[in-house]
Each structure stands twice: as structure tokens, then as C-alpha cells.
Amino acid sequence: MVTRGFTGRPKGAEPTNRIPPGQHLVDYFPVLSAGPTPRIEPENWRFTLKVGPRPIKTWSWDEFNALPMTKMVRDIHCVTTWSMLDTQWEGVLVDDILADAFIEPPTGFTLAHSFDGYSTNVPTADLTTGKAMVALKYAGKPLERDHGGPARLLVPHLYFWKSAKWVNGLQFTERDEAGFWELRGYHIYGDPWREQRYTSD
């Protein structure tokens, strides 16, 4: 339905095939989160890989920073409709985390967990083969707390709630188990190009 009197794109906004339907570009990095912003000191930081309930390996901050670092430039899309192009990230590929634990992807699904109790589910195939990382830097600087620092998951091809802030572990699961927002009305997969915003989309 055309909205009476709505003329469309604001002046200066360039249509681009890099912006998914229903999204718009922003020129700053918005902050969204469901609770207080946690403070995590490096000495208290841990990252744990689990298969089901079983811990496979845990890294300290120093151990994690000794893993191979990879840079990624990606477009990101938040379900609240903002998008940013060419965001610059640096961190450890999920592939390299698995390699350091000497395991192949053990199951088809993964739950990412965070220090504040947040969780989100992603098919394991969407995390591996260079698709996702645990990011430690944004735009060349240590990741700020507001944006998930010291470390957040980065799964740039899915809506950004999948890129869990303050991530402290990945848990491989046999079934696709809904995470925090997925239990609260948001889509189980979250592909921005298919506008999978809410459960019924």
C-alpha cells in the first residue's frame, strides 16, 4: 500500500544493492542491548567451547589473543532496520578456534553464550568456512564495551542480534535450540535478504 504523502528516499541517500529490503544506512554505530552493559576485565575473561554440556577447551584472554588473527570488512544489518557498510573487524575465525581445540564441527547447530546470560543460535555451517569470527577489534581499536567488548561474535550475513555481544563460549547442540531473542518472537535464522525478522516471517 502506498502511503499518502510519503515521497521516499531522503535526499542524498543512494539506492544500493547492498542494502537489504526494509533497511536504511546510518552514519554512526547504534547500541542496543537487553540489559546493563557488563564490565569484563581481561583477567576474568574466559572463552569455552562445549559439545552439548561437555566443555572441550577453555581459553584465557592471553591464550585467545595468541590465536591467529583475521581481518574482515563486512556490511552489517540490524533487525531494527539500520545497516552499516564496510565495517572493519579483527578477531579469531571460528575455524581457527575449532582448529586450536583439534576438533571438526561436531554437530549441525551452535548456541553462542554471553557473560550477561544472553544466547543466540546459529547453524554451525554459518559459523565455519570463514563466515564468522569472535571479534576483538572494531575499526582498528579494541572493541568497546557498548559494542560487546572485549569480545563479540561476528556473523555478518545474519541480522546483528546473532552477533552476540560479550560472548564467552560456543556450545554445539544436536538440535537447533532457540536463543534469547529467538524465544521472544524473533526469527530462528535471521537472513536480512529474506527479511526474516520475526518468528512468522
Partner 1 sequence: MSDNDGSAADLGWQNARIIRIEPRTATIKSFFFQLPVPLRHRAGQHVDVRLTAPDGYTAMRSYSIASAPDGTDIIELAIERIETGEVSPFFDDVAAVGDDIELRGPLGGHFVWRPADAGPLLLIGAGSGLVPLLAMLRQRRDVDSDTPAALLLASRTWSDVLYADELLVESERPHGMQLRFALSRQAPQRPQDYGRRIDAAMLAEVIGLLPAAPAAVFICGSNGFVNTAADAVLAAGVHATAVRTERYGG
Residues lying near partner 1 in the complex (CB under 8 A)? 1-10, 13, 15, 21-22, 24, 30-38, 78, 80-82, 116-117, 146, 180-181, 183-185, 198-201
Measured from the CB atom, the residue of 8 and 53 that comes closer to partner 1 is 8
| Min separation Cβ 63 and partner 1, Å | 27
Task: Report the distance separating Cα 168 and Cα 152, nearest Å.
Answer: 8
Sign of the four-CA dihedral 157, 158, 161, 165: negative
Measured from the CB atom, the residue of 84 and 122 that comes closer to partner 1 is 84
Helices assigned H by DSSP within 55-162: 61-65, 94-100
| Min separation Cβ 153 and partner 1, Å | 18
Measured from the CB atom, the residue of 71 and 184 that comes closer to partner 1 is 184
Measured from the CB atom, the residue of 79 and 136 that comes closer to partner 1 is 79
Q: Grid coordinates 552476540 are at which residue?
A: 164
| Min separation Cβ 142 and partner 1, Å | 18
| Min separation Cβ 89 and partner 1, Å | 19
Describe the chain by its helix, strand, coil percentages, rounded to 5.
15, 35, 50
Sign of the four-CA dihedral 148, 98, 67, 56: positive
